[in-house]
């Protein structure tokens, strides 16, 4: 069962009840709201989106999602978590997943070396393990798109808005034009059969435009122009 996606405005304002259908990839690759972005307290010039915002977005867009902890281990002086983020794609209802990894250092006593495990604080692991998991969830979610912080700290980023036109299907007007123009083309029977097959599989608006241009280049000028009323009338008069 297909689920309508929330519009970007609805996510900004926290009003998912007003959601409208939108293209998933375009939605996921919109810029995150400025209020969601925070400066990292430990890394200068690095920004991030808090885990509570990530979880809100996951729930708003996918509704059904879960985290599978794949592995928790200690590497050097840090707890490292590897997770798999499962989510239900709202456009086709299928379950999908993306992996993430996160790490958090194990706190030691003040002035102690980071690798001096005799000075590890009593609650260090209790704090580090959940934090590593949160970082891993954020890492997995970032792979979904810019809305989750994918390009926050990249100097160069690619825009996805053009995807909207690329995947629009051919309009009825374009299909009618192809039908009319195919009757007065120099295409062979094999070419016309191939064209009919291609159209039966569905074509995008962009491809339909290319087909129309190709038909125009291969027009049979010995036949009346059926794209005009005058040409249609001439053909009808000829047939009678």
Q: Which helix (H) or strand (E) holds 142?
A: helix 124-142
Nearest residue to 76 (alpha-carbon basis) of 39, 113, 105: 105
Distance spanning both ends of the chain, measured CA to CA: 53
Could you state, in order of their start, the residue ranges of all structural domains in the chain? 8-163, 168-239
Tell me: domain 8-163, CATH 3.30.390, correct? yes
pTM recorded for the entire structure: 0.57
Residues 6+ apart with CB under 8 A from 233: none
Per-residue pLDDT of the chain (240 residues; tens, 9 = 90+): 555 666 666 666 665 543 433 568 888 888 898 899 988 776 677 888 999 999 999 999 999 999 999 999 998 889 999 999 999 988 878 899 999 999 998 888 887 777 777 888 888 889 999 999 999 999 999 999 999 998 887 655 445 454 455 556 778 888 889 989 988 888 888 788 778 877 876 777 877 888 888 888 888 776 555 455 554 454 444 444
Distance CA 220, CA 227 (A): 13
What residues have CB less than 8 Å from 156, skipping those under 6 apart? none
Rounded to an integer, what distance in angstroms lies between the CA atom of residue 111 and that of residue 54? Answer: 35
Q: How far apart are CA 161 and CA 143, in angstroms?
A: 17
Angle (nearest 5°) at CA 188 between 183 and 191: 90
Q: What are the tens digits of pLDDT across the range 113-166?
A: 777 778 888 888 899 999 999 999 999 999 999 999 988 876 554 454 544 555
């Amino acid at each position: 069962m297909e689920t309508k996606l929330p519009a970007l405005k609805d996510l900004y304002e926290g009003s998912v009840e007003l959601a409208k259908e939108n293209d998933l990839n375009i939605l996921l690759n919109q810029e995150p709201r400025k209020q969601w972005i925070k400066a990292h307290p430990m890394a200068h010039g690095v920004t991030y989106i808090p885990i509570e915002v990530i979880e809100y977005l996951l729930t708003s867009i996918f509704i059904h999602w879960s985290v599978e902890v794949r592995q928790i281990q200690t590497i050097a002086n840090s707890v490292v978590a590897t997770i798999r983020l499962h989510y239900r794609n709202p456009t086709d209802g299928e379950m999908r997943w993306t992996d993430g990894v996160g790490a958090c250092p194990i706190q030691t006593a003040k002035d102690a070396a980071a690798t001096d495990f005799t000075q590890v604080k009593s609650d260090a692991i209790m704090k580090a393990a959940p934090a590593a998991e949160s970082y891993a969830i954020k890492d997995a979610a970032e792979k979904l798109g810019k809305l989750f912080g994918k390009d926050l700290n990249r100097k160069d980023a690619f825009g996805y808005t053009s995807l909207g036109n690329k995947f629009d299907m051919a309009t009825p007007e374009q299909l009618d034009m192809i039908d009319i123009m195919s009757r007065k083309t120099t295409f062979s029977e094999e070419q016309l059969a191939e064209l009919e097959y291609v159209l039966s599989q569905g074509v995008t608006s962009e491809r339909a435009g290319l087909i129309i241009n190709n038909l125009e280049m291969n027009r049979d000028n010995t036949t009346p122009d059926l794209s005009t009323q005058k040409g249609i009338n001439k053909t009808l008069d000829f047939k009678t």
